[in-house]
């Protein structure tokens, strides 16, 4: 650690022993870690092996990037914890007032971040849309968007660091190894989960405990988004839970929490399925999926569509096309049925349409119209988007980037159960933050 050398080894050993006193039994304190397992914590979007309990401490190996959070939220409190790095970066992040799920296209939630291990990047800051006001440091006079530390207090890699964070009504104060190092005020999110970050380097946490303080009832806009029963179906590291076979080699790869479909793929064998299917057969569910088209946009002639969802044709029955800026084509299959596909593409109507249904002239017009997006809610190519897809019975609702584009569209003949799949249309695309909530049928 760059700033570890500023504290002598004798001082480091003395400070490392401090927590034995600091953690003496006191009324009102609740342990957040029992030292035996991860009870009371939720692994949000990382692999099972990312977080382990060893020798009474949570050990994070840093892969993939993501977070582990408490099962309940907190508002006003004093939070204490110890941490130590492995001497390979010591990038240590604690999140408070955090949302239950990550922000679109990122591995981390909206939260207040406490940087315990890096003396240069700031100690308290808002991430994912949360903001704070730094309280000017009397020593440095800093007025940065984050609240930087007044001094480097971290110990060498073998030493345990002790931190105490006090949160009251949107103000925060951090004490590191016995001294106040940062203060912040006016946090825009004042109640939420406590979370530990996995961010590429091994780090250990122990003696995590909290003492809640009397609090006011904050307005809804200052309360973090709570858990709704979603569970990750992608661990960010492996194809665990997905039907991965040798035919997918050279097509799908994983890169730190991202499923990536490659542009240059080997020839496909006749009849070979190169889509990426999940193993579980689902009935009714809500699916969250982040995606972005990564191909270089280029102008291509594409079909025009009528308001009723049919391919537009001229007086001679020929397809009517026009050039659009095209960046790729993909989608998500529902219940094992390629016909029940929530489309991802570069069309004026926008993504989210149920293409095979609205193009079927044999279906009633009201069914076709319901499968055409109400609005184009896509972000520009290369930017992350988020689907929230609800499947109940034979009806589907699609919310894209917070806007409802398909509402209770009927899909006649859709199977009662089946897996989901990420479509391989041979165009490069990335998926991440895949969360599933199973609904009672």
pLDDT 10s digits, 7-36:
444 444 444 444 443 444 477 999 999 989
Place 151 in a pLDDT band, splitting at 50, 70 and 90.
Answer: low
Q: Is the dihedral of CA 269, 274, 280, 281 positive or negative?
A: negative
* pLDDT of res. 22: 43
Here the tokens at position 271 are 């009849």
Residue 322 has a CB neighbour count (10 Å cut-off) of 11
The residues spanned by each domain of the chain are: 4-226, 246-438
Name the class of domain 246-438. mainly beta
Q: Which residue has the tokens 């165009």?
A: 427
* pLDDT of res. 90: 56
- The whole-number average pLDDT for the span 255-277 is 95
pLDDT tops 80 at residue 40: yes
* pLDDT of res. 150: 53
Beta strands in 131-224 (DSSP E): 133-134, 161-168, 171-176, 179-185, 193-198, 203-212
- The whole-number average pLDDT for the span 271-289 is 97
Q: Which residues does 323 contact at the CB level (< 8 Å), separation at least 6?
A: 299, 300, 301, 302
* pLDDT of res. 85: 83
- The whole-number average pLDDT for the span 203-211 is 96
Q: Which has more pLDDT, 269 or 335?
A: 335
Classify residue 270 as exposed, middle or buried by CB count within 10 Å of its CB (0-12, 13-18, 19+): exposed
* pLDDT of res. 291: 98
How do the residues of the chain divide into helix, strand and coil, expressed in percent and rounded to 5? Answer: 10, 40, 50
- Cβ proximity of 186 and 132 under 8 Å: yes
Chain-centroid distance of CA 304 in Å reads 35
Of 328, 438, 332, the residue nearest 383 (C-alpha): 328
Question: For the segment 355-408, what is each residue's pLDDT rounded down to a tens digit?
Answer: 999 999 999 999 999 999 999 999 999 999 999 999 999 999 999 999 999 999
- Cβ proximity of 109 and 67 under 8 Å: yes
Do the two domains 4-226 and 246-438 of this chain adopt the same fold?
Answer: yes
- The whole-number average pLDDT for the span 105-121 is 82
Q: Which has more pLDDT, 435 or 145?
A: 435
Question: For the segment 190-203, what is each residue's pLDDT rounded down to a tens digit?
Answer: 999 999 999 999 99
137-145, long-range: CB < 8 A, 24+ apart: 137/182, 137/183
Distances (CA, A) of 116 to 60, 122, 191, 208, 385: 15, 9, 20, 14, 31
* Terminal-residue alpha carbon distance, the chain: 54
Q: Is the dihedral of CA 343, 344, 347, 349 positive or negative?
A: positive
* pLDDT of res. 123: 82
* pLDDT of res. 135: 87
Q: Which residues does 208 contact at the CB level (< 8 Å), separation at least 6?
A: 31, 32, 33, 58, 79, 80, 81, 82
Classify residue 95 as exposed, middle or buried by CB count within 10 Å of its CB (0-12, 13-18, 19+): buried
Distances (CA, A) of 10 to 17, 158, 377, 401: 11, 12, 59, 54
CA angle, residues 44, 48, 54, in degrees to nearest 5:
110
pLDDT tops 80 at residue 148: no
The answer as to CATH 2.60.120.560 being correct for domain 4-226 is: yes
**pTM beyond cutoff 0.95:** no
Which residues on adjacent β-strands are paired with residue 244? none
Place 143 in a pLDDT band, splitting at 50, 70 and 90.
Answer: very low
């Amino acid at each position: 650690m760059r700033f570890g050398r500023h504290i002598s080894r004798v001082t480091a050993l003395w400070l490392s022993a401090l927590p034995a006193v600091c953690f003496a039994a006191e009324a009102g304190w609740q342990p957040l870690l029992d030292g035996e397992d991860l009870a009371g914590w939720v692994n949000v979007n990382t692999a099972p092996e990312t977080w382990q309990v060893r020798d009474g401490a949570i050990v994070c190996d840093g892969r993939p990037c993501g977070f582990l959070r408490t099962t309940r939220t907190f508002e006003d409190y004093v939070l204490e914890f110890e941490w130590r790095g492995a001497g390979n970066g010591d990038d240590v992040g604690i999140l408070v007032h955090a949302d239950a799920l990550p922000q679109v296209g990122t591995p981390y939630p909206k939260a207040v971040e406490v940087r315990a291990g890096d003396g240069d990047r700031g100690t308290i800051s808002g991430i994912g849309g949360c903001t704070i006001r730094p309280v000017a440091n009397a020593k440095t006079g800093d007025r940065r968007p984050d609240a930087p530390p007044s001094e480097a207090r971290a110990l060498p890699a073998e030493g345990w660091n002790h931190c105490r964070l006090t949160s009251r009504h949107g103000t925060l104060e951090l004490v590191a190894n016995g001294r106040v190092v940062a203060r912040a005020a006016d946090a825009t999110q004042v109640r939420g989960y406590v979370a530990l970050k996995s961010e590429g380097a091994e780090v250990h946490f122990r003696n995590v405990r909290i003492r809640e303080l009397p609090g006011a009832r904050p307005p809804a806009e200052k309360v973090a988004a709570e858990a709704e029963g979603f569970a990750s179906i992608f661990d960010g590291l492996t194809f665990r839970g997905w039907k991965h076979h040798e035919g997918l080699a050279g097509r799908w790869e994983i890169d730190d929490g991202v499923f990536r479909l490659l542009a240059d793929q080997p020839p496909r064998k006749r009849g070979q399925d190169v889509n990426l299917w999940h193993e579980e057969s689902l009935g009714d569910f809500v699916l969250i999926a982040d995606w972005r088209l990564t191909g270089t946009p280029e102008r291509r002639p594409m079909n025009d569509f009528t308001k009723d969802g049919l391919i537009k044709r001229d007086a001679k029955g020929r397809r009517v096309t026009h050039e659009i800026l095209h960046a790729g084509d993909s989608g998500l299959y529902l219940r094992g049925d390629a016909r029940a596909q929530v489309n991802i593409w570069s069309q004026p109507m926008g993504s989210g349409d149920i293409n095979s249904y609205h193009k079927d002239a044999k279906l009633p017009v009201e069914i076709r119209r319901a499968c055409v997006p109400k609005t184009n809610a896509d972000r520009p190519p290369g930017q992350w988007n988020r689907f929230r897809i609800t499947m109940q019975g034979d009806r589907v609702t699609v919310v894209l980037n917070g806007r409802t584009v398909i509402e209770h569209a009927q899909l006649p003949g859709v199977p009662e159960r089946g897996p989901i799949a990420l479509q391989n249309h041979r165009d490069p695309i990335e998926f991440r933050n895949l969360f599933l909530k199973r609904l009672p049928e």
